[in-house]
């Protein structure tokens, strides 16, 4: 059971907008820790995609946008493309665990 | 170009010690915190711990009793040792650079625990 909760799967058609939620609590996202999102294409290592309140890493298109409110965070992907089909993970820290890193369980994005 | 490369035995017997190395090229290992993360087959990401060149470490509570991480600045690499392994430790092990998020990852190395 992950500390951060993500939906197991989401889907959308090319060109559409999808959002992936990441639900935490007052000891992690709600404690104002940074939230980061990673994209993992099949058979490859995760890649830092976007973070709340920080610049997007070089090379990541601005179709990916991260936000947070209260104890939850979201990743929005606009103009969905076939190459976006991947697993997505949110990551933060948790004060109840001594500030340790915590990950969401991951969300599989399917482009229809 | 900064690169990370994990290496180690792909097969470890139950109850033995898993030892991995992460070679860092293109940047001094003294400049960042370095993290180990693992991913069991078909499952999500699990934080193992981080290490700094000074020797500062932070281990996941669930692995702390079996875990040792270190940095060798002369070789510009970091090491991980996990003792008394079981099948539950079977995973792809990644090293990653911590720079406001894990902004650089190795390709990962699969470690299977089996007799």
End-to-end CA distance of chain B: 39
For B24-77, how does the pLDDT look when each residue is reduced to its tens digit (9 = 90+)? 999 999 999 999 999 999 999 999 999 998 989 999 999 999 999 999 999 999
Rounded percentage of chain A residues whose pLDDT exceeds 70? 100
- Distance, in Å, from the CA atom of A71 to the CA atom of A98, rounded to the nearest integer, reads 18
* B35, B45, B106: residue with CB nearest A89: B45
Q: Chain A partners of B35 at a C-beta cutoff of 8 Å? A: 101
In Å, how far from its chain's centre is CA A40?
A: 11
Cα end-to-end distance, chain A, whole Å:
29
In A, minimum Cα distance to B4 occurs at A45
Query: What six digits make up the tokens of B22?
Result: 């992460």
Nearest chain A residue (CA) to B57: A100
Q: How far apart are CA B94 and CA A89, in angstroms?
A: 15
Would you give the DSSP letter of residue A38?
E
- B2: distance to nearest CA of chain A, Å? 14
Residue A53 has pLDDT above 80, yes or no: no
Q: What are phi and psi of B59, to 5 degrees?
A: -110, 145
Question: A70: closest CA among A31, A15, A16?
Answer: A31
């Amino acid at each position: 059971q992950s500390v951060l909760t993500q939906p197991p799967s989401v889907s959308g058609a090319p060109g559409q907008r999808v959002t992936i939620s990441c639900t935490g609590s007052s000891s992690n996202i709600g404690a104002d820790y940074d939230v980061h999102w990673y994209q993992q294409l099949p058979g490859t290592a995760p890649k830092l995609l976007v973070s709340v309140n920080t610049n997007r890493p070089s090379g990541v298109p601005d179709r990916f946008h991260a936000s947070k409110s209260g104890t939850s965070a979201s990743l929005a992907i606009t103009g969905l493309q076939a190459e976006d089909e991947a697993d997505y993970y949110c990551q933060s820290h948790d004060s109840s665990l001594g500030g340790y890193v915590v990950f969401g369980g991951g969300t599989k994005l399917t482009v229809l | 170009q900064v690169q990370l490369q994990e290496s180690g035995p792909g097969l470890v017997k139950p109850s033995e010690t898993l030892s991995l190395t992460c070679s860092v090229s293109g940047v001094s290992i003294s400049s960042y915190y370095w993290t180990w993360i693992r991913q069991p087959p078909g499952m999500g990401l699990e934080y193992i711990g981080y290490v700094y060149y000074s020797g500062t470490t932070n281990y996941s509570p669930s692995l702390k009793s079996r875990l040792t991480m270190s940095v060798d600045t002369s070789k510009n690499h970091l090491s991980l040792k996990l003792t008394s392994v079981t099948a539950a430790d079977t995973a792809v092990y990644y090293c990653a650079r911590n720079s406001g998020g894990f902004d650089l990852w190795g390709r990962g190395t699969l470690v299977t625990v089996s007799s």
